Structure 1
Amino acid sequence: MGLLGLLGRRPHERAGFALYTAAVSASRQPGFFGGLGVPDTLDGRFDLVSLHVALLIRRLRRDADPAGPKLAQAVFDAMFADMDVNLREMGVGDLVVGKRVKRMWEAFHGRAAAYESALDAADAAALAAALARNIWRGEAPPPGAAERLAGLAIALDRTLSAQDVAALRRGQVRFPEQLAA
């Protein structure tokens, strides 16, 4: 990387990418697809990544440390830069990539708002309904799966809230393995 590349890098970019990568890894645990019956499709994977990233961004935005919201933006930027790259690797043409990324961005924001609203209201049933609507896309989820996923998301929200912002600034986050169960 040249000197200009170093000068153009935003302060939280590296940590944002590391946090985003950890969220993607956590969303890929096999238990989501096997145990909970989340569709193992591009849409299903996008929805699980969106859930994990939305909860991570929620945690960062709520931090009293001014670095929190900046890190949240860096995670968001990393996610959509990755979506752009993935679409291009799948052969989506340059003229269409921007439109698809915009639709993904809008979908992410809608999901994040629905999840945050339910979490703020401590309404597990509303969270389960939002997850069922988004993750199973109109299909009936396996019995109890949306409720179990809502419980796991609530537990993840608590786990993320307890994590130190200094570690998050270094790109270090812990996602519980039991989320895949």
Structure 2
Amino acid sequence: MGLLRLFRRAPLERQGFQLYTAAVGAARHPAFFARIGVADSLDGRFDLVGLHVALLIRRLRQEADPRGGQLAQAVFDAMFADMDHNLREMGVGDMSIARRVKAMWEAFHGRAKAYDASLDAGDAAALSEALLRNVWRGSLPTDGSGPARLAQFVLRTETELTQQSFEDLLRGKITFYPPEDLP
């Protein structure tokens, strides 16, 4: 019986990967790079994936059903399993993978905390500042409107995520609306 436990999937693992995959797909929308000015680089892509996952985890943790927290953990686990896999695919040596994944976890955690604080306060200006600091590394994009526009997208996305049924989320189904209609 103990051996069977090794081959058993974690609760909600499949749904966590499905939700994470949807977040990655949404984060790759070309408008983030072409219209909002996020750098199309490893860092820029990591920041957008982290932003989408942070919003998704925030939504799941606000769910009254205890499975919300379990599903949030499954999404988090899927993200960092994917990060580990991607580092290996890029040829990063086994000895430094744990250190790099830990650095990514710390970066994600810090960003999620900053976004949560701004969203909890309903402070679009603070959210814009957090996005400037994290997504643009403090260097204002060419036209200067990127952080404020991304903040508006984040606020809209948070509202849209709260309107999606938890039952759909439990089935691994989520809709991230594209940023195409941002000014």
Give yes or no for TM over 0.5: yes
Q: Is the 8 A contact 2:20 2:75 kept in 1?
A: yes
Question: What's the CA shift for 1:6?
Answer: 8.7
Alpha-carbon spacing, 1:113–1:138, altered in 2? closer, same or farther (3 Å): same
Q: Deviations over 1:69-120 (max 9, x none)?
A: 0000000000000000000000100000000000000000000000000000
Q: Is the 8 A contact 1:31 1:180 kept in 2?
A: no
Output the amino acid matched with 1:160. Answer: L
Structure 1 vs Structure 2 CA RMSD:
1.6
User: What corresponds to 1:146 in structure 2?
Assistant: 147
Question: What's the CA shift for 1:10?
Answer: 1.2
Q: Which runs of 4+ in 1 moved over 6 A?
A: none
User: What corresponds to 1:43 in structure 2?
Assistant: 43
Q: Alignment partner of 2:139: what SS? A: coil
Alpha-carbon spacing, 1:180–1:77, altered in 2? closer, same or farther (3 Å): farther
Q: Alignment partner of 1:91: what SS? A: coil
Q: Deviations over 1:155-176 (max 9, x none)?
A: 0000001111110000000101
Q: Deviations over 1:36-77 (max 9, x none)?
A: 110000000000000000000000001001110000000000
User: What corresponds to 1:160 in structure 2?
Assistant: 161
- Give the TM-score taking structure 1 as reference length: 0.95
CA distance in 1, matches of 2:54, 2:181: 17
Q: Is the 8 A contact 1:152 1:179 kept in 2?
A: no
Question: What's the CA shift for 1:8?
Answer: 1.7
- Give the TM-score taking structure 2 as reference length: 0.94
Alpha-carbon spacing, 1:43–1:119, altered in 2? closer, same or farther (3 Å): same
Q: Deviations over 1:119-151 (max 9, x none)?
A: 000000000000011011122123211000000
User: What corresponds to 2:136 in structure 1?
Assistant: 136
Question: What's the CA shift for 1:180?
Answer: 7.3
Q: Which runs of 5+ in 2 are unaligned?
A: none
Identity %: 60
User: What corresponds to 1:118 in structure 2?
Assistant: 118
Q: Is the 8 A contact 2:19 2:169 kept in 1?
A: yes
Q: Is the 8 A contact 1:30 1:180 kept in 2?
A: no
Q: Which runs of 5+ in 1 are unaligned?
A: none
1:171 aligned onto 2:175: no
